[in-house]
Chain A
């Protein structure tokens, strides 16, 4: 998979930009605020029809304008593809492949896999468990349709159940049979989601551990530990035992929506004990493992977007990182940096073909 050309119109701070790409590694350099990251985010949008940083399409429109659009030319297995995305508030998002609409947006997502590594990724470590669940859910949903459908149904049923519990807390009114009916539907979903998450980690952890070792050049063993109430027993039983507590709390305390994924190095939580450098390496290895995993499942090496990754990394780790991503199993790399000299120095000895693009506003 190769990105050949990318055009941005009214996307974030870009009025009109047109980039032609000619190398397996593309370095976008320029001052802060010049719009380097926008180029990466534009490609992310092209691949997944949403921004990596912003969930609201409206906020991606250049100030004072009323629409944006993006066009990418991607070469994949000898074929040229043209992807067009456009958004105007009040209208449906437009996504076209070679001029044709998709019947469902979901059919496009995953067609051109992409993985972004950005400074905000440290949130995965520091923020609440929902960030980590979203990471795992994204990974699973892209490759397991049953999982995605179960998760969507689970979330909807859970909302219904919580509404019921809240009305008990407020009005002391409860239809017990209805609660049972919801629980009978939730129990098998809990079981499925729990099993698939556990199975995913069994597959994912070895890949992740190995990549982490290569980046650190050390003996630190990284892993993701699955924390779930369902380690203790069957979903239906535990849910039944938890009903009283749920009623008192006015919300559901048992279920996969309470799961967490603890990031560990040598068995210790990274959040508490990891140094800044360890945390960064952890995230980079995690994302590379994600790329590797997606590559295995889709048969395509995802685009790798590295936003401002080198600046805050020591030379030793940078070298190991480059050695890794230079391998065939990783795809085309787009990276941003404020300092072209630094990037040149980093790549000087790798033999990689690098294209430099200066970005200024």
Chain B
């Protein structure tokens, strides 16, 4: 594509690096910015540069945070005896939105996948073991994707924790709330039958 201005071309190049943004969308965003008051671009630029320069990771759970210790870890009302292990920040947000969890988190930063070059030492697994070794933790709740990588990561962590006086649990897998039984995939349905629970319990 030929652009009338080198400045536009540079902006398009920058935007099109974002996931899910092609060159046409990038051009639309660029033209949108040009039509807006100048302050808006200033604010956007500041937000982006602050994001990169000021963001820190919680020293305890590795969640993205504004402070050295994140709000969840610093909270007095959260139960420090339960750690929910998740792959990344999006999972923390999803679980927080449920309003059902009162413990703290541990963000691994991904799942074990040797083929994609992700080995256990690239994830925050050792620091999880250190947190457990400090003695305060009673339960580890694995909230990982129901994929092979999620399973491997879960097995790996439980192997590393063997012998520690800590309970290891995993989130239940089964039929979605409000889901029609006939549309459930067979694997999920089969597993739900194998792992059935007492009614009302």
Contact = CB atoms under 8 A, between A and B. Distances in A.
Interface in B122-173: 148, 151-152, 155-156, 159-160
B155 A175 contact: no
B152 A177 contact: no
A157 B115 CA distance: 10
B156 A177 contact: yes
B186 A156 contact: no
A184 B156 CA distance: 10
Contacts of B33: none
A268 interface: no
A149 B114 contact: no
Contacts of A181: 152, 155-156, 159
A160 B159 contact: no
Given A178-B120, A180-B159, A163 B115 contact: yes
Interface in A49-66: none
B108 to A, nearest CB: 14
Contacts of A164: 114
Interface residues of A, number: 19
A177 B160 contact: yes
Chain B contact patch, size range: 10 to 19
Interface in A154-184: 156-157, 159-161, 163-164, 167, 175, 177-178, 180-182, 184
Contacts of B151: 185
A153 to B, nearest CB: 6
Given A156-B148, A178-B120, A184 B114 contact: no
Interface string A173-211: 001011011101100000000000000000000000000
A41 B154 CA distance: 46
Contact of A163 (B114, B120, B160): B114
A128 B155 CA distance: 35
A92 interface: no
Contacts of A157: 148, 152
A177 B159 contact: yes
Contacts of B156: 177-178, 181
Contacts of A231: none
Contact of B155 (A156, A163, A167, A185): A185
Contact of B121 (A159, A161, A175): A175
A149 B187 contact: yes
A308 B148 CA distance: 45
Interface in B173-201: 186-187
A219 interface: no
Nearest to A156: B148
Interface string B76-115: 0000000000000000000000000000000000001111
A272 interface: no
A145 interface: yes
B173 to A, nearest CB: 15
B59 interface: no
Nearest to A167: B114
B186 A145 contact: yes
B25 interface: no
A339 B119 CA distance: 62
A106 to B, nearest CB: 11
B154 to A, nearest CB: 9
Contacts of B119: 167, 175, 178
B155 A160 contact: no
Contact of A178 (B112, B115, B186, B187): B112
The interface centre, meaning the residue of A145, A157, A161, A182 with most chain B CB atoms within 10 A of its CB, is A182
Interface of A: 145, 149, 153, 156-157, 159-161, 163-164, 167, 175, 177-178, 180-182, 184-185
Given A145-B186, A163-B114, A181-B156, 14 more contacts: A149-B187, A153-B148, A157-B148, A157-B152, A160-B113, A160-B115, A161-B114, A164-B114, A177-B156, A177-B159, A177-B160, A178-B112, A182-B152, A185-B151
Q: What are the 10 tightest A-B residue pairs by CB atom distance, in nearest-first order?
A: A163-B114, A181-B155, A181-B156, A160-B114, A164-B114, A163-B115, A177-B159, A160-B115, A175-B120, A159-B115
5 contacts: A164-B114, A177-B159, A178-B156, A181-B152, A185-B152
